[in-house]
Structure 1
Amino acid sequence: MPRQTRQERYNARPPRQNRGIIFFIIIVVLFGIVKIAHGTYKSLSDTVTNSYQKANIKHRRDVNTVIKHKKPLSILLLGTDTGELKRTDKGRTDTIMLVTINPKTEKTTLYSIPRDTMVAIPGYEKDFPSKINSVYTYTNISDTVNTISNYLNVPIDYYALVNMGGLEKLVNQVGGVTIKSPLTFTFSADTAHETGKHRYKFYQGSSTFKYAADGHHFKTYHKMNGAAALAFSRMRYMDPNGDYGRTQRQRMVISAILKKTASPQMLFNKQFMHSISANVRTNLTFKEMLSIAGAYYQAKNNVVTKSATEQTVMHNGVSYQVLSRSEKQKTTNQLRQSLNLKAAKTGPIVAGNAKKARIPFDIEMALKE
């Protein structure tokens, strides 16, 4: 498939446009690498070490004890809208997934948190309302993990932060993916809308799609390369389910990648491994990956996807997703149950100090429902 260069994408990018959509599959890092690591310790250790980044996370429990006793663990997956298109700024975490892995039930849960979720960022309540995807922009990785953990009252044991270059490179490394689209839509990689160059046409219920580099002369394809998977995952404005629909497509790509990485041949591929390490930062050490390999590996065969039900609220012309107190409690209940933890009250309604945020009456009513 003809593929635009980074320079072409950068030149075509409208100023200040949010190109945010990229995520990385921590399940590949966790369940793929560790399964074969015993036989290739040195080379894999060097590769994984390149991804390691310590974070000052306020752990709610002893992570070493969790792994030692084979208890369910959690990983916060964050995808930033940078790393491609010559974008080197810090960016926002446009993809937020809390992954829980339960070795007892042999189940992995991918819980999506919409990027537009309204919050008051701790320490920056004066800027309320903010979106949860900007917590990282205002603070750092440690504060981001701590904020989300406190917001939902759920322990977060590890994190994985991935830049925008990760998805496209990873899909190319696995040889492309085949996915049936849940809806029919047209998307331009240049404009993030239906018109423009580098247009893709996806069709509901079909894995066949069309692509036109000039935006007009389409050719038919049956397998997505990295650029196509990125386009398939990025579209939001034409989806009747908005960001919920987009996170659904993200999870479909995750599942497709999982299937392709199941073979030892792929995981022994040094170029594939380098692609992982070059685009992800995590506080999972290689030793920790090895120690959890046997007990958690089977959980990758039963992947459940969930997302909170939020309502759209407009404030000063900006659209936000509001998680009411009752829905927020439901989310906390589900996550704690997946971690085999006792039920507990959910965290602060807007993450930060509500009094300092000076929440308007109409928003306060939406939050309290």
Structure 2
Amino acid sequence: MPQKDKGYVNPEISPRSERSKKHHQAKKNHRGCFFWGLLVTVIALIVGGKYAYAKYTNAKNAANTIFQSSNVKKARDVNSTLKDGHPVSVLLMGTDTGALGRDFKGRTDTIMIAVLNPNKKTMTVVSLPRDAKVEVSGYESKYPSKLNSAYFYGGSGTAVKTVQNYLNVPIDFYATINMGGLERLIDSVGGLDIKPLLTFTYDNQSFVKDEETHMDGARALAYVRMRYTDPQGDYGRQARQRQVLTQLAFKGSHLMSLINQKFLSTISKQMVTDLTFDDLLVLGSKYRVATHNMVTDHLAGQPNQENGESFEVPTTKERQRITNLLRKALDLNHAQTGDSGEWIDADD
């Protein structure tokens, strides 16, 4: 039986006019994502045999260092959800803080929702457009706003509430990394071997499509940051981000990387999450099987200018498609998608 998220949201919404568009078919992959790199790093260090106690202590210290509550009430009881082995969702955010010498609180250049379903042995990862037109939870007077401004206005908790309202999907946890941290994480595992998805030059770095390239942190950062000369715009950049984060997780899950204190130390300095050490232990014991298959997709919108700003505006039909995908992955009942911070009856 699907798990129902009782009490999760309320009134009717006014559907936006729909525009014709092409849907993007979900793709399957057999690796993890960056979040799993963090998870596997902590769990594998704990169960790593002869490395046991010292690495256990380091792992627990790292987990305690990166913990930061979202300071928002969860949409459902995550403790019982984890205990019973139900699917869980994590909002993954990459901020521009720390990148290219920046030292201010940034916006979220990368926004993804990951669902771990141990029963179906599937991880579903959906990218959301940073420029999606939304009403930011708690900052309704600033409407219209871009989705990536939610973190800037109120931090991770505001981003979580905004995404929940926008798609009518419960967000159980979040994990945030700054882009400067991404650069250092890649360097800490010795770089990545990537086959670029297209040929381009950006920030004095050149890439050739399908030509395997070894990328250190700075080169990889240039690869994932380029946006305007990609024929697919931000959607193309999202694909490159998923590619690099997936490869980082794959390499980070190898034992030689896991026992690298530099890698663990870098994670503890560049990430924050509201997953506790105990949460990670449960995920490691019950949810690791979810990495057997990975399904990726993205919410697609159409460009729209308003008050001199450029927004991405997905149709109601497209948002409903993504809501359906995520709720199905979470084993939840069908529900109408959200709209600009308004809640909907989950039983409709």
TM-score of the pair, normalised by structure 2:
0.84
Give 1:36 shift: 3.1
Give secondary structure in 2 for the equivalent of 1:27.
Answer: helix
**Alpha-carbon separation, structure 2, partners of 1:72 and 1:123:** 28
Residue 209 of structure 2 is aligned to residue 204 of structure 1: yes
Residue 49 of structure 2 is aligned to residue 59 of structure 1: no
Query: Which residue among 195, 199, 203 is the counterpart of 1:180?
Result: 195
Give 1:232 shift: 0.5
Residues 135, 162 of structure 2: 8 Å contact kept: no
**Alpha-carbon separation, structure 1, partners of 2:275 and 2:137:** 26
Residues 73, 101 of structure 1: 8 Å contact kept: yes
**Alpha-carbon separation, structure 2, partners of 1:227 and 1:103:** 35
Give the letter for the 1:299 counterpart.
A
Give the letter for the 1:99 counterpart.
A
Gaps of 5+ in 1: 1-23, 189-198, 208-221, 354-369
Give 1:317 shift: 3.3
Residue 88 of structure 2 is aligned to residue 73 of structure 1: yes
Give the letter for the 1:275 counterpart.
T
**Alpha-carbon separation, structure 2, partners of 1:183 and 1:86:** 27
Q: Show CA shifts across 1:263-295 (max 9, x none).
A: 112112111101111000111111111122121
**Alpha-carbon separation, structure 2, partners of 1:181 and 1:352:** 40
Q: Tell which has more relative contact order, 1 or 2 (C-alpha 8 A, sep 6+).
A: 2
Gaps of 5+ in 2: 1-32, 344-348
* Partner residue, 1:275: 266
Query: Which residue among 303, 319, 325 is the counterpart of 1:328?
Result: 319
Give the letter for the 1:300 counterpart.
T
Matches within 5 A, 1:293-332: 293-332=284-323
Q: Which has the larger radius of gyration?
A: 1
Residues 116, 123 of structure 2: 8 Å contact kept: yes
Decide whether aligned partners of structure 1 residues 340 and 284 sit closer, same or farther in structure 2, where only a CA change above 3 A counts: same
Give secondary structure in 1 for the equivalent of 2:310.
Answer: strand
Q: CA RMSD in A?
A: 1.6
Query: Which residue among 322, 343, 351 is the counterpart of 2:341?
Result: 351
TM-score of the pair, normalised by structure 1:
0.79
Give the letter for the 2:280 counterpart.
M
Give 1:66 shift: 1.1
**Alpha-carbon separation, structure 1, partners of 2:137 and 2:70:** 18
* Partner residue, 2:35: 26
Decide whether aligned partners of structure 1 residues 165 and 276 sit closer, same or farther in structure 2, where only a CA change above 3 A counts: same
Give 1:243 shift: 0.5
Give the letter for the 1:343 counterpart.
H
Residues 312, 321 of structure 1: 8 Å contact kept: yes
Residues 89, 116 of structure 2: 8 Å contact kept: yes
Give secondary structure in 2 for the equivalent of 1:54.
Answer: coil
Matches within 5 A, 1:1-369: 25-38=34-47, 39=52, 40-188=55-203, 199-207=204-212, 222-347=213-338, 349-351=339-341
**Alpha-carbon separation, structure 2, partners of 1:118 and 1:80:** 18
Deviating 4+ runs (over 6 angstroms): none
**Alpha-carbon separation, structure 2, partners of 1:34 and 1:57:** 26
Give 1:88 shift: 2.1
Give the letter for the 1:336 counterpart.
R
